[in-house]
Structure formats: C-alpha cells, structure tokens
Chains A and B, each alone.
Chain A
C-alpha cells in the first residue's frame, strides 16, 4: 500500500513538468530567429504572399491566443502540420521515433553489456589491467565526439575493410521495409518471419550502435565501478565475507544488488540523453530518426515540428524517469521502510 501511494504520488508529480515544458517550448520556438512566413514564402516571394502565408499559419494572432489554440489542438492529439514536409507532425514523429528508439536501445544494451561487467571487474580488481582498460574506455568514450567515432568506424570497417554494410540508413537499397507492427525493423521483420530483412536491419545497426555505445559506456562503467566500490566496502559485505560466503555470491548478490540502484538511475539519464544526442550519429549514418528531423525543422523555423519534437522528448524524459523511479521503489526495500 505504502509503495502504491508513493508511486501514485510520483505520477502526479510528473504533470507540472509536462505543462511547463509545453509553455517553454512554445515561447522558445517563438523566440527563434527567422520568420517562418518569410521562409515558406520562398526566395522570390513579395510582401503580399508573405502576409497571406503569415495569416495561414495563424501567426497574425497575439502570443497568448496562439498558445491557447496550441493547447486546444494538443488536447485533441493534434501536434499541427509540419510546413516543410506537409504532413502532420504526429505522423512524422511516429514514423521516425521507432528508428531512433531502436538504434538508441541497441546502443544502450550494447554499452550495458560491456560497461556493467567491466565496471564490476574494475571495482573488484582495482589497479589491475581491467581497471586500466576501464579507465581508457571511459576516457575515450567521454572525449571522442560521436560524429568522429562514427566517421572513423565507417572509414575503417566500411571504406577500408568492407566488412560493414553501406551506411545508408536502416536498410540497404536491396530491401524494402517489413510490414509495420512496432516500427522496429528488426522486430517487425522477425514477426513477419522475414529473416533476410531481419539480418539486413541488424547489420545496418552494428556501426551506429557501436558509436552510440562508446558514448554511453563512460557514465555507466564509471557509475558501476564507483557504486560497486562503495558496496564492496560496506559492512554487510564484510559480514558476508566473514561468514565465509563464496566470492561470486558476495559480489553479485550482496554488493551488485545494492550497487544496481545508482546504476539504474544513471541508465535512465543516459537513455534520455542518448536519444537527444544521437542527432550526429543519425546524420553520419543517414539514419531517418527524429534527431535529423528536428534539425531540419529548426533550420526551417518549422514551429509545429520543433514543438512536437521537444514535447515528445520531454514526455520521453518524464516517462523514462518515472519508470526508473517506480522500478527503484519496487526493488529497493529501504524506500518502502523509511516513510
């Protein structure tokens, strides 16, 4: 019961940030330099056509009125139409979000698979070669910009060695996208039993996922190492060891379970961060995700699209953090006991 009401309270807390974000995005997009009416009127337009387009866009109303219209549309699930692509923003985001999510999740899983064992090993053997390797990888991950890693990987594995498939987005020329269920090509292809497309989509993901995972590796490995070090020096670990429990059991059951809490929190942050930060990776690998969409929209002062993107990202942030908090509440016995 205690836990349930805590979770409910946490959900309620998520509402004000969403409203705040809506307002701030609205104001920020209006503060962007550049006049969308002028931009969309085209290079050769005159005063009349610009005024006509401004009226069509509803930009001739005052800001509060524009905001009310915007809220009303939002409540109807209408994010507006993107001017540059001529399609509803919601449709665009829905078709591009899975691409970004698929790549981000793949990158995150990959980095978790490397960073967590590495962090644990580094913590249990401080000063050993594993610890040094961990330090090198963390430093490299933090200091190498993603576009550089991306281009570097393309140069080595695609251009020089020819091992990787061409960096042409989610599927090579040869393949057509599988019937849409989840929007994740790999899952959709597997569901449709189309293994050729399944492998093709996985192959396309390898290089960008490695690029992203190198970037995400640093915070996860560092946090795992620090949390494990703290846990291993805890009294309960000493007690467990004193009682003669086996090394692996102490590390994974006693120490790692406790260390998992800060690692989980970090994962939530890294995920949200990756989703926004993979714009450059998307550009380099021609990945049709929401990052490249947002950049295009920004350049074109496409208000509806930018607002839709920021709102979508904010919601994801809120949802991911909410989800992590709920999981933490559920798995951490201390949280329930304290209050």
Chain B
C-alpha cells in the first residue's frame, strides 16, 4: 500500500472533521504559528499499536497521546517549577467514577457519557473489555504489564452493562488501579477494529498497526515511516481540558548534534532525551530552556553478580561500594543531571522514601580494609560490562569505575556489549559479573522495584541476588495498601537489607531532560519517559 493510499484509507476510517488537507505544502501558519508544535525525536517509531509484537519503546508515545484509558495519573509542580506526573493522584478519564468492592477483589467503573471515539460513537464497556482482552491475549510485554496489576485473563474483565465495566481481581492489590493508568490498558474502538479483523488476525493487529482507532485528545493524521508523524487535535475530546496545541509534527532526527542545532537555531520547538552534556550546556547558555525531573523509581546502578566469585562475598561488594567515585560519575557521566544516591547516614532507613541514598561514599581506606578482611588484599581481576546502546552515560561511568577500582587492587577489563545482545546477556542469562544497569519501575512503589530487581529469577535482577527474607517481604507487601500497618516496617526492612547486601550499588537517580524554546510551556515529565502532548503549549 502506498503511503498516500494509506493516508486516505486512514482518514476515511478515522472520519474526523479536522483532518490534514492534502496540500502540497502545509499552510504557512503550520510551521510558524502558535498552534503547531515542532518536535524532533532521535529514535524511529515502528508502529501505532502498542500491543503489537515488536513495537519498540519510542512508539509508546503514540499510544499515550491518541488513546484514552479508564483512569490517568495527575500532575504536580516540583519545587524548581518543573511539572511531573503525580503517582499518588489518580484522575478519571474514560471512567467518570469507580468503586472498589468491600473485599477489594473487584473494581467497578462507570463509563463517562462524554467519552466518544473519533467516529462519534460512545465508548462502551464492550470496547473496554475488548481492548483489555486484547492486551492480555496478545502476550509479550502488554500481558506482563497487566499482570503487575493482577490482571492476566479475559475472564477478569466483565461487562456489567453498556456503561458499567468491572475488573475482578484474585486478591486485593494496591497496584491494580495505578496499573490501569499506564500506557498498556488503552481503549480501542472495538467496532472499527473488528471490521478489519480476520480469522488469522482476530485482534486486527495488521490494521491497528497503521490505523489507530481511539478516543484520545490527538489523532495521527500522517505517518511517514522512518521520517515523521503528525498529531492533529481531536476537537471533540471532552475528557479533560482541550489541549492547547492544534497540531504537533514529530520529525525523526537521528543525530543528537543535529537535534541540538535545530533547537538552538529556533527551527524546532522541542526535543526529549537530551544527552546530559547538552542539557547542562544549553541550560547554562540560556539559548534554550531545559526541564527535567528525576525519574521516579529509577536508578542507575552498578550490578555485582552474586552467583560469581568473588562477588558472592558481601565484604567485596561493600568494598566496591566504598571505592566508587560517585561525585565524578555524576559530574562526568551525567553532567550533574542526576540525584545523588550515596552518602546516606543511616544503616537502617528511617523513612520509606525510595530511592534514597545508600550509606556508602567514596572512602578508599575503608574499601581497602574491607578487601583485606574478605581475603582479597591483593585484589582480583574481573570484567565490567556495559551496553553500547546507552554508551552516552555508561562509557564515561565505566571508565571512572575502572580507574577507581584499580586503586583498591581490582583490575576490571571493560566489556562493551552491543544493544541487541544486552538483554540476553545481562537480564536473561544474567551472566555478567560486574555491569551497569538502569531499571526503572512504571509503578512508583519501592516494593515494585524490589519485585523486579531483587527477587531471584526476576528479569531485572541481573545480579542473581537471592534472599528469602526479601522474597517473602515483597510477596507480602506488593499488593498491600500503603496505609497498612505492616507496610512501612516491611519496606524499611527491604531497604535495610539492600543497604547491607548491596548486590546493586546505586550511582544516582537519573533525570529525564527535555529541551525547548523559551516560550514552550507545559512539559510534563512522565514515568513512561515519553512525550505526552496534552499539556504542551506555546506562550
């Protein structure tokens, strides 16, 4: 299918009123005007359907902007004036209200009569069920994410009546409701999708891959794969304040230097994932505005594989934690765009704040003493692996660590692993002795982080860490409400063990930086690390 045909087909099915006309050139106002935002991104998007197998991370932003969910997270303004999502506030979106059953084992949602798909039809409980069934049936990442909220089978999604929808849970869980606000449980226009479903493709993955059918504040009116895509505002969207920008053009510009030049010249308005160095320099020079907030529940860590000697020795791990050049790493690897996670003063935490500084700091004497106590006074040889796909922060960090470890007798050979192999080596086979890792949990709870990163066999536990006490603590706490009396002591105990055992040594909590023209406002830093266009405005 040629692109132009696709556009026509797309516009026919989307059927909205304000579609991009087929002009050779956009109206002059489109590029210069206040109602169009010009965005550049570094990665290419490869699908308009988040549930599809093989859809890459950058494509999530499309799902975020063009689909609605039952509920969404609120936003808050941080001390420095930047806006970030608020994991503690859940707002209505398609659901105008919801009620958790007495026993906590089901949530019933009332669908808002204002929720209309782009073709004008009402969003119904059937659509929600179809979309959720799709997410758990297609498998892969969507299923895994749904499972985090205890949702894994279509039987759990019940159509009570046309405007009432219920989720049944095997047990009460504090993660269920927030998990409905992440990008995965989006609501698709099931009538449109089913018209294009076939026997081989009952979930219309072929169709929705290029032709979204949703109800969100924006529609995609043009997608030139590998080049650009265009969002157009859905003028009939009534589930929130109508977004200020009428049109958003997202162009793919692979080179970070080119992106920066485009912004500094004023030819584009905004870009995200700014390398820390550029973020620092632009913020200092004032040619562009840089905004960013620390990414919730995300840490850049040095992982030590406890299944391999000598990292099975706790003293060696602690020695390394005392030998890392934390300040240099934050200054040279992240150009200061991170929150320190070292230098804590308490061996057992007094708050449940997460992440919080670990009780280690650069202290080579202490590190040497611990090495001697562990029986490695002469040091040892090992490898330090990092992901070439994330070389912008991992490379300088690894070099600094290598240099510093040499001072306590550890000779670390650098091992660069191509991005395509990283997951297999680090997360699946878990075969890297010492490595850099950067897991961030979408749901902002410490126990959720521990669930993925500290439990034996779980994906992001690249250190092969195993501790029965943490395992039982996490199991007990994961679904527990935060006001449960056991919650606070449990979390504190988990953090205390992590302090003591340090299979993962936190380096810092990274920022998610975006650079924009001074007149651009309303950028919100989200846990999914994608650009949500809804709040963006040009003053």
- Interface positions of A (Cβ within 8 A of B): 32-35, 38-46, 48-49, 52-53, 56, 83-87, 92, 95-96, 151, 154-155, 158-159, 162, 166-170, 172-180, 194, 196-197, 283-286, 288, 292-293, 296, 298-301
Complex interface: chain A residues within 8 A of B25 (CB):
174-176, 196-197
Inter-subunit contact A197/B141 (CB<8 Å): no
Complex interface: chain A residues within 8 A of B251 (CB):
168-169, 173, 286
Complex interface: chain A residues within 8 A of B143 (CB):
49
B 47-98 contacts with A by CB, 8 A: 47, 52-54, 56
Rounded to whole Å, the gap between the CB of B147 and the closest CB of chain A is: 9
Complex interface: chain A residues within 8 A of B254 (CB):
283, 286, 292
Apart from A173-B38, A299-B419, list 20 A-B contacts with CB within 8 A: A32-B420, A33-B418, A34-B420, A43-B423, A45-B140, A151-B255, A158-B265, A166-B268, A168-B40, A168-B253, A169-B251, A172-B31, A173-B251, A176-B22, A176-B23, A286-B254, A286-B258, A299-B389, A299-B418, A300-B420
| A45 and B52 in contact, given A284-B255, A301-B420 (Cβ under 8 angstroms) | no
Complex interface: chain A residues within 8 A of B224 (CB):
177, 288
Partner of A39, one of B23, B31, B249, B423: B423
Partner of A42, one of B30, B140, B249: B140
Q: Which residue of B lies closest to A154 (CB)?
A: B261
Complex interface: chain B residues within 8 A of A169 (CB):
227-228, 251-253
Rounded to whole Å, the gap between the CB of B196 and the closest CB of chain A is: 15
Inter-subunit contact B255/A38 (CB<8 Å): no
Give the A-B contact count at a CB cut-off of 8 A. Answer: 153
Complex interface: chain A residues within 8 A of B419 (CB):
299
Q: Which residue of A lies closest to B44 (CB)?
A: A296
Question: How far apart sit A326 and B141, CA to CA, in the bound complex (Å)?
Answer: 54
Rounded to whole Å, the gap between the CB of A282 and the closest CB of chain B is: 8
Rounded to whole Å, the gap between the CB of B294 and the closest CB of chain A is: 22
15 contacts between A and B (CB under 8 A): A34-B424, A38-B424, A38-B428, A84-B56, A85-B225, A95-B3, A172-B31, A173-B30, A173-B251, A174-B31, A176-B24, A180-B4, A286-B252, A286-B255, A299-B419
Main secondary structure of the interface of B (DSSP, over half): mixed
Per the CB 8 Å criterion, the residue count for chain B at the interface is 56
Inter-subunit contact B54/A40 (CB<8 Å): yes
Q: Which residue of B lies closest to A180 (CB)?
A: B2
Question: How far apart sit A99 and B427, CA to CA, in the bound complex (Å)?
Answer: 38
- 4 pairs of A and B residues whose beta carbons are closest in the complex: A44-B144, A34-B420, A42-B141, A166-B267
Q: Judge whether B12 is part of the interface by a CB distance below 8 angstroms.
A: no
Question: How far apart sit A107 and B54, CA to CA, in the bound complex (Å)?
Answer: 36
Inter-subunit contact A151/B145 (CB<8 Å): no
Complex interface: chain B residues within 8 A of A301 (CB):
420
Inter-subunit contact B262/A52 (CB<8 Å): no
Inter-subunit contact B30/A174 (CB<8 Å): yes
Inter-subunit contact A86/B227 (CB<8 Å): no
Inter-subunit contact B418/A87 (CB<8 Å): no
Question: How far apart sit A286 and B268, CA to CA, in the bound complex (Å)?
Answer: 14
Inter-subunit contact A84/B54 (CB<8 Å): yes
Partner of A84, one of B46, B249, B252: B46
Rounded to whole Å, the gap between the CB of B29 and the closest CB of chain A is: 11
Question: How far apart sit A167 and B419, CA to CA, in the bound complex (Å)?
Answer: 27
B 339-365 contacts with A by CB, 8 A: none
Rounded to whole Å, the gap between the CB of A166 and the closest CB of chain B is: 4
Rounded to whole Å, the gap between the CB of B229 and the closest CB of chain A is: 12
Inter-subunit contact B258/A285 (CB<8 Å): yes
Complex interface: chain B residues within 8 A of A87 (CB):
225
Question: How far apart sit A10 and B182, CA to CA, in the bound complex (Å)?
Answer: 61
- Interface positions of B (Cβ within 8 A of A): 2-4, 22-26, 28, 30-31, 38, 40, 44, 46-47, 52-54, 56, 139-141, 143-145, 209, 224-228, 249, 251-255, 257-258, 261-262, 264-265, 267-268, 389, 418-421, 423-424, 427-428, 459
Question: How far apart sit A154 and B253, CA to CA, in the bound complex (Å)?
Answer: 14
Partner of A299, one of B46, B265, B420: B420
Q: Which residue of B lies closest to A168 (CB)?
A: B251
Q: Which residue of A lies closest to B259 (CB)?
A: A286
Question: How far apart sit A173 and B209, CA to CA, in the bound complex (Å)?
Answer: 24
Question: How far apart sit A159 and B267, CA to CA, in the bound complex (Å)?
Answer: 10
Question: How far apart sit A178 and B23, CA to CA, in the bound complex (Å)?
Answer: 10
| A167 and B262 in contact, given A176-B25, A194-B24 (Cβ under 8 angstroms) | yes
Question: How far apart sit A137 and B318, CA to CA, in the bound complex (Å)?
Answer: 58
Inter-subunit contact A34/B421 (CB<8 Å): yes
Complex interface: chain A residues within 8 A of B40 (CB):
168
| A44 and B141 in contact, given A176-B24, A300-B420 (Cβ under 8 angstroms) | yes
Question: How far apart sit A169 and B31, CA to CA, in the bound complex (Å)?
Answer: 16
Partner of B4, one of A45, A52, A151, A179: A179
Complex interface: chain B residues within 8 A of A176 (CB):
22-26
Complex interface: chain B residues within 8 A of A293 (CB):
226
Complex interface: chain B residues within 8 A of A288 (CB):
224, 226-227, 252
Inter-subunit contact A46/B144 (CB<8 Å): yes
Q: Which residue of B lies closest to A83 (CB)?
A: B54
| A167 and B258 in contact, given A44-B459, A83-B54 (Cβ under 8 angstroms) | yes
Partner of B265, one of A46, A95, A166, A194: A166
Complex interface: chain A residues within 8 A of B264 (CB):
159
Question: How far apart sit A292 and B261, CA to CA, in the bound complex (Å)?
Answer: 20
Inter-subunit contact B423/A52 (CB<8 Å): no
Complex interface: chain B residues within 8 A of A39 (CB):
420, 423
Inter-subunit contact B265/A159 (CB<8 Å): yes
Question: How far apart sit A39 and B55, CA to CA, in the bound complex (Å)?
Answer: 11
Question: How far apart sit A271 and B139, CA to CA, in the bound complex (Å)?
Answer: 46
Complex interface: chain A residues within 8 A of B459 (CB):
43-44
Rounded to whole Å, the gap between the CB of B53 and the closest CB of chain A is: 6
Complex interface: chain B residues within 8 A of A178 (CB):
24
Inter-subunit contact A53/B46 (CB<8 Å): no
Complex interface: chain B residues within 8 A of A299 (CB):
389, 418-420
Question: How far apart sit A134 and B224, CA to CA, in the bound complex (Å)?
Answer: 42
| A175 and B24 in contact, given A49-B139, A84-B54 (Cβ under 8 angstroms) | yes
Complex interface: chain B residues within 8 A of A174 (CB):
25-26, 28, 30-31
Question: How far apart sit A84 and B3, CA to CA, in the bound complex (Å)?
Answer: 18
Complex interface: chain A residues within 8 A of B56 (CB):
84
Inter-subunit contact B23/A41 (CB<8 Å): no
Complex interface: chain B residues within 8 A of A86 (CB):
46-47, 52, 54, 209
Inter-subunit contact B261/A283 (CB<8 Å): no
Question: How far apart sit A300 and B255, CA to CA, in the bound complex (Å)?
Answer: 18
Complex interface: chain A residues within 8 A of B54 (CB):
40, 42, 83-84, 86
Question: How far apart sit A296 and B227, CA to CA, in the bound complex (Å)?
Answer: 13
Question: How far apart sit A301 and B3, CA to CA, in the bound complex (Å)?
Answer: 26
Complex interface: chain B residues within 8 A of A49 (CB):
139-140, 143
